[in-house]
Structure 1
């Protein structure tokens, strides 16, 4: 299954929309997950149609931050099991392509205390997953210093907390495709 996750940092910029549309037509993902859309549903829906997707689930931003969108092709069935400002947990199926049974789309809050609450919710979800499970998105955290470029080093306590969360949910890092620091 081909999927695209992008922290677009706002869909209100013409260049961002053009790049998103190009990526959708070039890569032909069956599912697109956008974080930090910073736009209300009506606008995001218009962009979805321009990118060629039929189905959607949207979480409006709070004020001028956040906003999540999942778009998917008709060949994929997506059932929303849980939705919040940071997590959309789904059951996915397709008669055309192999998919994980569950996909959790995650946008980790930039504030550490909020991130802890998000990890608690993902941990709760993990206890109820029986089948293949993919978590994708921007966790706003790192597993090692090599994943960071510039600025101060991340505190080891934070890295170890994130590693503990990943291990506690029995998750594995599958890597990514794209620019080294995305």
Structure 2
């Protein structure tokens, strides 16, 4: 099973749509998770069809920002168990593919208070999980100072809160191949900042079911300042 996740920062840009379509046809993911679509559902559906998908779950944008989209192929069945502006929690089954029992798609809020509320939502989800569980997306947080380069150091309190969230949910970072940083503010030196915001987390049952799972950070040709995550289970 293959998954693709990307904070695309708006599907209204032709280069973004072209890059997304190319990655979908090149990597053939069974699930695609998009953050910050910044488009109405009707437009997102049009792009979904161009990328070769039939099934969907869409979280509408708020004002001119936000918006989530989850697309999946006919090879799997996805049940939406919980959905909000920042989290889509699903169960996944397939007759032809080995899949995690649960997958949570997460877009961490940039506001500190909202992000803590989001982590509480995911903590509540974790209480009911006893099977393989994969969490992925743009968490808008880092686990250590080494996951940031440039700018002011991240507040230790914020790093501690994120580490506690990961630990409380009994999750572990699944590592990655490719660039160490998945986001850049795209400013000229000396104001350039890089951070590792996009990642995949999994519980023990997931790591036992998929011991060779791989996460790749893919540079999407500068149409977004976030790298794309590609996960091979």
Interval of TM-score (by shorter of Structure 1 and Structure 2): over 0.9
Moved more, 142-151 or 158-167: 142-151
Residue aligning to 2:209: none
Q: Helix, strand or coil: the match of 1:115?
A: helix
| 2:172 matched residue in structure 1 | 172
Map of 1:3 onto structure 2: 3
In structure 2, the residue matched to 1:31 is 31
Q: CA deviation at 1:20?
A: 0.3
Q: Using a 3 Å threshold, how does the CA distance of structure 1 residues 178 and 32 change in structure 2: closer, same or farther?
A: farther
Q: CA–CA distance in 1 between the matches of 2:57 and 2:10?
A: 17
Q: What is the Cα deviation at residue 130 of structure 1?
A: 2.3
Equivalent residue, structure 2, for 1:97: 97
* Cα separation, 1, equivalents of 2:176 and 2:86: 20
- Point out the more displaced range, 123-132 or 170-179: 170-179
Query: Is 1:109 the equivalent of 2:109?
Result: yes
The two structures have a TM-score, normalised by structure 2, of 0.76
Structure with more relative contact order (C-alpha pairs < 8 Å, separation 6 or more)? 2
Task: Provide the C-alpha distance between the structure 2 equivalents of 1:46 and 1:177, rounded to a whole number of angstroms.
Answer: 32
Q: Distance in 1 between matches of 2:67 and 2:133?
A: 23
* Equivalent in the alignment of 2:152: 152
Corresponding residue SS for 1:157: helix
Consecutive unaligned residues in structure 2, runs of 5 or more: 183-233
> Secondary structure in 2 aligned to 1:66?
coil
Alignment partner of 1:61 is 2:61? yes
Counterpart in the other structure of 1:142: 142
CA distance in 2, matches of 1:43, 1:176: 32
Once the two structures are TM-superposed, the CA of residue 114 in structure 1 deviates from its matched residue by 0.3
Query: Where in structure 1 are there 5+ consecutive unaligned residues?
Result: none
Q: Specify the SS of the correspondent of 1:65.
A: coil
Structure-1-length-normalised TM-score: 0.97
Let me know the Cα RMSD of the aligned residues: 1.0
Cα distance change, pair 53–179 in 1 and its aligned pair in 2 (3 A): farther
1-side partners of 2:7 and 2:114: how far apart?
18
Q: In the alignment, which residue of structure 2 is the partner of 1:126?
A: 126
Q: Distance in 2 between matches of 1:177 and 1:10?
A: 25
Aligned to 1:87: 87
Instruction: Point out the structure with the larger helix share.
Output: 1
> Structure 1 or 2: larger strand share?
2
The alpha-carbon deviation at position 148 of structure 1 amounts to 1.5
